[in-house]
Structure 1
Amino acid sequence: MRNWIWYIGFIFTFCSVQAQQLQDFIQEAEANHPEIAAYQLRYEIAQEKVEGSKWLPNTQFSVGYFVSEPETRTGPQRARFSVRQMLPWFGTISARETYQNALADTEFVDIAIVKRKLGLSVAHSYYELYSIVARKDAFEENIELLKVYEQLALSSLEVGNASAVDVLRLQMRINELNEKYEVLNEMLISEKKAFVKLLNRTSDNDAIEVIPLQIPEQDVVFEDIDFDLHPELVKYDRLYTSIVQSEELNQKESAPQWGIGVDYIPVSERTDLSFSDNGKDVFIPSISLSIPVFTKKYKSKTRENELKQQEIEKHKQDRINVLETSYIRAVSKRRQARIRYETMNKNLKQTQNAKDILIKSYETGTIDFVDILDVQELELKFKIQQIQAVKDYFKQSANINYLSNSYNKPQQ
């Protein structure tokens, strides 16, 4: 079988350590995932059908016994033994094998597609894990800082520079963040289990470490993308080829079949005469020809193949439109994520300046804990939005890679 399509791994745009870790997860999923194993078995079945395509019609054996022996010049005939072998028209077996090869090639493309989709799912789940872990860290950091402010509020309450309402407001805010932190804990447990299932690990007790992500300075851009090389479109090409081969096989099968055979008739000797050929057995070699007089079945198959080719072309064009649209949207969404990330960076710097002003106010003996809460809430909001922007950036990068990477045909 000609393995003309090779699977190329995802190319990720973050640093090599992060890329290698995620690539290791993808390779583990490919090695363990039952769906890929099922598709590989389908491909092996298709290869077996290639071997099975070299069949010939059953050899016919027949035996006949003359109840009333016919008398001939050389003696009475006792029985008749026959063997017949029909043979397809020249090139039919080769056409059948080529057709099965085309079907096997289609199954091989399915393996490449399911691997790529699995890699995309693993990447998306990994980025979701990053988002949850990063948000947990942001909430934890914010809670610890609010606890420091709570102690300051209690101290200020003792000297009359703060009210009990300020303390309660800080404590309620801490309680609210603790609730969100616990919710994220539950989300993390659930997402880790889902990630382990994607890897098809036997145990979910293995630690899943997520390395922090950082948006690179420049985006990886794919120039002159040929979507015709995308495996989802290559599959349509292979399907089209299989229909072409199916029609060639149909034309061969509509040709006559021919066969060869031999009959053997044992003859008993005549007792009433004596001559040289007395009792000589009879051998009858034969050639037969089977002509398909009624060809409606083959004409109908030809029309069916023509319609299937048109159907495949329409499906392929529709899929090209979907892939191109998805690529344009993914590139745009990645740019949007970068814009949001850079905007949140500016906002976080400004919230830090506001916090510095509040600290100076505390040193002069005047502090407004309502302002502290407002600034801390804004800072947490910007951090969460920045984390979301990072997650969206890498998810869209994975989508772009899925849509951009092509499969190469190896040298024959």
Structure 2
Amino acid sequence: MLRFTKIVSKRDAIFFMLFLLTIGPSLFGQSDLEGYLKFAAENNPGLRAKFNDYLAAMEKVPQVGALPDPTVAFGYFIQPVETRVGPQEWRFNLAQSFPWFGLLGAKEDVATELANAKYEDFENTKANLFFEVKTAYYNYYFIEKAIEITEENMEILNIFKRLSLVKIEAGNASVVDELRVELELNDLENQLALFRDTKYVLQVKFNNLLNTDEQAPITVPATLWQDELPEGQLNILDEIYASNHQLKAIEHRLNAFVNQEEVATKEGLPKFNIGLSYTIVGENDMSTAVDNGNDAFVFPSVGISIPLYRKKYKAMVKEAEYLQEGEILRREDKKNDLTTIYENTSKDFNDGDRRIALNKKQSEIAKKVLDILITSYSTDAKDFEEVLRIERQLLKYELSYQRALADKNAAVAFIYYLLGN
């Protein structure tokens, strides 16, 4: 009986220490997580690739806003053309084309909006990376707690086993009691092995998100804090519509296609050409003109390109209109998806909140029942099977409590991702 008194006292001491540790380390744990998020943002290769996509898209703006390259032509007269002032021997032509007014600016607007859409894709990838890091962190916390709780329960079962052996030797219990404990221990050993394998997998996943050494240790708090939904927002769903990066990217693409329609319209307007001509003239020995042998320079020569084939330009305008309509429909579809996802995540958050309260309450009740059953078994060797059953339930409630903490925080993290944070 004295042994069981020590067991219960040890368990209570462990829970008391865990309670004390929640006062400070929760903030410490959050600080660690913030550090991991910062490290991931700086080192994750997928995120850096997205940012390079944005930078590359920005380089498109000066390309489309530049004038067409000038054309230079050189001509040599195989048979010089005789003129009053001498034979024409060589000719150089330089021409520059100018599009309709505002066309280049409209093209720049298209490229800028598409680049802004790429930036929103980058921001969405960053928000998703933060969500994945947070979720991996919470799952790693849970698996560490699962290992700790399972090892603690195995230690208690081993003490039960030693007590049953003492009672069997005294003739106050059946050998079946020992065998039942063996069954429970075997199940827990198998579960513990799975937890440890899972811990390694989660460690690798977490460190890969940070693009660091797979074996790097992960610091988690003794007890996970509880995140809550953002405050000060009357309607989170409206905030999601306003700040979600996927919706913002769609808006930028829509603006790009509006400008693309303007580009298509102006592409169908005339273009202007300005050029100069320089002709090298040889001397005419028979000419007495004062400008004999002087080169001929003509500037400017002005031309206009008239787009006569209208079918192509009408198709370009129609293409832009279809693309606009597609983005409008895509925006509506994305809003519907976000509404469904938000409501489902909100349900997960509320479920996590309920499970935290339920499993905490159930654990407290199970501990009291277990104490009573332990005392009963110590005095008359009865209800040993019930002792094991309640111990099993207590293990389940303790694990479910930790799982609920991780799930609730993961739900909050996903809502922050939907908000673009």
TM-score, normalised via structure 1 length: 0.89
Aligned partners of 2:26 and 2:225 also within 8 Å: no
Q: 1:249 aligns with which of 263, 274, 292?
A: 263
- Aligned counterpart, 1:322: 337
Q: Distance in 1 between matches of 2:152 and 2:195?
A: 14
Q: 1:22 aligns with which of 11, 22, 33?
A: 33
Q: CA RMSD in A?
A: 2.1
Say if 2:60 is the partner of 1:46.
no
Q: Give, as a single letter, the amino acid of the residue that structure 1 aligns with 2:75.
A: G
Shift of 1:299: 1.0
Matching of residues 280-291 of structure 1 within 5 Å: 280-285=294-299, 286-291=301-306
Q: 1:261 aligns with which of 275, 292, 296?
A: 275
Matching of residues 201-212 of structure 1 within 5 Å: 201=212, 203-212=213-222
1:204 aligned counterpart, secondary structure = coil
Q: Distance in 1 between matches of 2:393 and 2:225?
A: 22
Q: Distance in 2 between matches of 1:398 and 1:329?
A: 14
TM-score, normalised via structure 2 length: 0.87
Q: Give, as a single letter, the amino acid of the residue that structure 1 aligns with 2:218.
A: I
Matching of residues 103-118 of structure 1 within 5 Å: 103-118=114-129
Q: Distance in 1 between matches of 2:384 and 2:411?
A: 40
Q: Distance in 1 between matches of 2:330 and 2:52?
A: 26
Q: Distance in 2 between matches of 1:212 and 1:263?
A: 83
Q: Distance in 2 between matches of 1:59 and 1:218?
A: 62
Q: Give, as a single letter, the amino acid of the residue that structure 2 aligns with 1:361.
A: S
Distance 1:187 1:268, change over 3 A: closer
Q: 2:135 aligns with which of 96, 120, 124?
A: 124
Q: Distance in 2 between matches of 1:305 and 1:273?
A: 63
Post-superposition CA distance 1:133-172 (Å, at most 9, x none)? 1111111111111111111111111211111111121122
Larger mean CA deviation between 126-135 and 280-289 belongs to 280-289
Q: Give, as a single letter, the amino acid of the residue that structure 2 aligns with 1:314.
A: L
Matching of residues 89-108 of structure 1 within 5 Å: 89-108=100-119
Q: Give, as a single letter, the amino acid of the residue that structure 2 aligns with 1:26.
A: L
Aligned partners of 1:92 and 1:249 also within 8 Å: yes
Q: Give, as a single letter, the amino acid of the residue that structure 1 aligns with 2:257.
A: I
2:78 aligned counterpart, secondary structure = coil
Q: Give, as a single letter, the amino acid of the residue that structure 2 aligns with 1:176.
A: D
Post-superposition CA distance 1:102-125 (Å, at most 9, x none)? 121111111101001111111111
Distance 1:265 1:132, change over 3 A: same
Aligned partners of 1:337 and 1:389 also within 8 Å: yes
- Aligned counterpart, 2:400: 385
Post-superposition CA distance 1:350-402 (Å, at most 9, x none)? 21221221233245344432121111111112212222222221111111222
Shift of 1:214: 4.2
Matching of residues 181-220 of structure 1 within 5 Å: 181-201=192-212, 203-214=213-224, 216=226, 220=230
1:317 aligned counterpart, secondary structure = helix
Q: 1:135 aligns with which of 146, 152, 161?
A: 146
Q: Distance in 1 between matches of 2:87 and 2:385?
A: 124
Identity of aligned residues (%): 30
- Aligned counterpart, 1:152: 163
- Aligned counterpart, 1:11: none
Aligned partners of 2:275 and 2:302 also within 8 Å: yes
Q: Distance in 1 between matches of 2:368 and 2:75?
A: 108
Distance 1:70 1:405, change over 3 A: closer
Q: Distance in 1 between matches of 2:129 and 2:35?
A: 13
- Aligned counterpart, 2:43: 32
- Aligned counterpart, 1:9: none
Say if 2:243 is the partner of 1:232.
no
Aligned partners of 1:74 and 1:280 also within 8 Å: yes
Q: Distance in 1 between matches of 2:76 and 2:397?
A: 98
Distance 1:70 1:161, change over 3 A: same
- Aligned counterpart, 1:375: 390
Shift of 1:173: 1.4
Q: Give, as a single letter, the amino acid of the residue that structure 2 aligns with 1:204.
A: E
Say if 2:312 is the partner of 1:312.
no
1:263 aligned counterpart, secondary structure = strand
Matching of residues 360-371 of structure 1 within 5 Å: 360-362=375-377, 364-371=379-386
Shift of 1:277: 3.3
Post-superposition CA distance 1:211-265 (Å, at most 9, x none)? 1444649755543232132111001000101111222222232221111112222
Distance 1:117 1:273, change over 3 A: closer
Matching of residues 57-68 of structure 1 within 5 Å: 57-68=68-79
- Aligned counterpart, 1:69: 80
Q: Distance in 2 between matches of 1:83 and 1:152?
A: 104
Q: 1:180 aligns with which of 183, 187, 191?
A: 191
Shift of 1:271: 2.6
Shift of 1:80: 2.3
Q: Give, as a single letter, the amino acid of the residue that structure 1 aligns with 2:303.
A: S
Structure 2: 5+ residue stretches without partners: 1-24
Say if 2:392 is the partner of 1:394.
no
Aligned partners of 1:153 and 1:369 also within 8 Å: no
- Aligned counterpart, 2:309: 294
Q: Give, as a single letter, the amino acid of the residue that structure 2 aligns with 1:320.
A: K
Shift of 1:84: 1.5
Q: When the two structures are aligned, how many residues end up with a matched partner?
A: 392
After the TM superposition, list the runs of 4 or more consecutive aligned residues in structure 1 that deviate by more than 6 angstroms: none
Q: Distance in 1 between matches of 2:94 and 2:225?
A: 77
Distance 1:189 1:50, change over 3 A: same
